[in-house]
Amino acid sequence: PAAERAEFDRRIAGVLPEGFAAVVADAKQRLLDKPQNVATRKASQIALESLTAALPEMIGGSADLTHSNLTRVPAVDSDFTPEKSGRYVSYGVR
């Protein structure tokens, strides 16, 4: 619980996780080293994959077009299991 408390306090204080800046810099460098000609939604998915893996407090969601919009990434899953933190909200048809 001391580690959980420290993580809770970090999130409440709005402090980014240690190493987050390096994750962002690495993701940018990968894109610069190997540019991709992809649709905006695919580019967004690529960014989300890096960000959600490094930011456990980041959540996402979509209505009924989740798979088309490419908003669901491995680190963010709606299933509440010991392996996943339930960080994806399925809004349903709006």
Query: What does the pLDDT read at residue 73?
Result: 87
DSSP helix/strand/coil, 88: strand
Instruction: Give Cα separations from 36 to 6, 12, 49, 53 (angstroms).
Output: 39, 36, 15, 21
CATH number at residue 50: 3.40.50.970
DSSP helix/strand/coil, 77: coil
CB atoms within 10 A of CB 42: 12
In terms of residue numbers, what domain contains 22? 2-90
Q: What is the mean pLDDT of each run of 10 residues along the chain (94 residues)?
A: 96 96 95 94 93 91 83 76 73 73
Query: What does the pLDDT read at residue 94?
Result: 65
Only one residue has tokens 């460098």, namely 29
How many domains would you assign to the chain? 1
Angle at CA 93, nearest 5°, toward 48 and 68?
40
